[in-house]
Amino acid sequence: MDIDILFQDSRFAVLNKPAGLPVHPGPRGGPSMEDGFAQLSRRKDGPWLAHRLDADTAGCLVVALRKAALLEAQAAFTSGLARKTYWAVVLGRPAANSGVVDAPLLKHSTAAGGWRMVHDSAGQAAVSDWRVLGSADGIAWLEVLPRTGRTHQVRAHCAELGCPVLGDPVYGAPGPMLHLLARAIALPLTPPLAATAPPPPHMRAALLACGWDGVSR
């Protein structure tokens, strides 16, 4: 398995996860990011996923190469010290240029037999900061900084803004591929961990239309 490694030291590797590839095998098997773990370490124990990304989300995925590192990373995620940055191309444009979505999320079964996260006061606290980085005809490029780590949080909160992520069949903007990138990750460890992922090919045209220069930011 050809793995694009964004960062690696003796403790961690940050992988550039392709859109559409699960992080671990599902009930019916199939390829996953874990297929490439043997290339990262020869240790008998590990590597381990330090967190999760949706199968359809591209970008930074942290893998711990040692058990002590795994515990450190999990503590950073649990305590909210991990700084996660997402880029999303969404349908429409928010009324403001920046803001905060504070919308608790609860898993809800759908009539079709699936599920989605819904805004519900009975759900888990979920808070995301966001700002508009650019826009084009009918779409906008958002930077989203989730303070919490709920399932589908960025996707559900974009929908809460009235601007679902392009390619998201669950939250209202169906298309061939989800336009969501786990752009950067930073963990305040000693030494610190930091990595940035390039936009995947399927997002580049929309980002360029919204004003991305193809290199920076």
Which whole-number Å values give the CA distances from 37 to 48, 109, 158, 201, in the listed order?
Answer: 8, 33, 32, 24
The answer to whether residues 35 and 170 touch, using CB atoms and an 8 Å cutoff, is no
Q: How many other CB atoms sit within 10 Å of the CB of residue 190?
A: 5
What average pLDDT score do residues 50-75 get?
Answer: 96
Which CATH homologous superfamily contains domain 5-209? Answer: Pseudouridine synthase (3.30.2350.10)
Cα distance between residue 108 and residue 146, in whole Å? 21
**pLDDT at site 36:** 86
138: left (phi over 0), alpha (psi -120 to 50) or beta: left
Residue 213 to residues 93, 109, 134, 161, Cα–Cα distance (Å): 20, 41, 11, 26
3-state helix, strand, coil in the chain (%, to 5): 15, 35, 45
Q: In terms of Cα–Cα distance, which of 30, 90, 20, 98 is closest to 59?
A: 20
Backbone angles phi, psi at 23, to 5 degrees: -75, -30
- Give the pLDDT of residue 210: 98
Residue 30: band (very low, low, confident or very high) from pLDDT cuts 50, 70, 90? confident
Alpha carbon separation from 144 to 26, 72, 130, 164, 175 (Å, rounded) = 28, 24, 4, 13, 21
Candidates 163, 103, 90, 91; CA nearest to 129 is 103
Q: Is pLDDT at 133 greater than 80 in this prediction? A: yes
**pLDDT value of residue 44:** 72
Tell me the pLDDT tens digit for each residue of 90-115.
999 999 999 999 999 999 998 877 89
53, pLDDT greater than 70:
yes
pTM for the whole thing?
0.94
Q: Catalytic site residues?
A: 54
Residue 118, Cβ density class (10 Å: 0-12 exposed, 13-18 middle, ≥19 buried)? middle
Q: What is the mean pLDDT of the chain?
A: 94
For 201, the enclosing helix (H) or strand (E) is helix 201-209
pLDDT exceeds 70 at position 217: no
pLDDT at 45 over 80: no
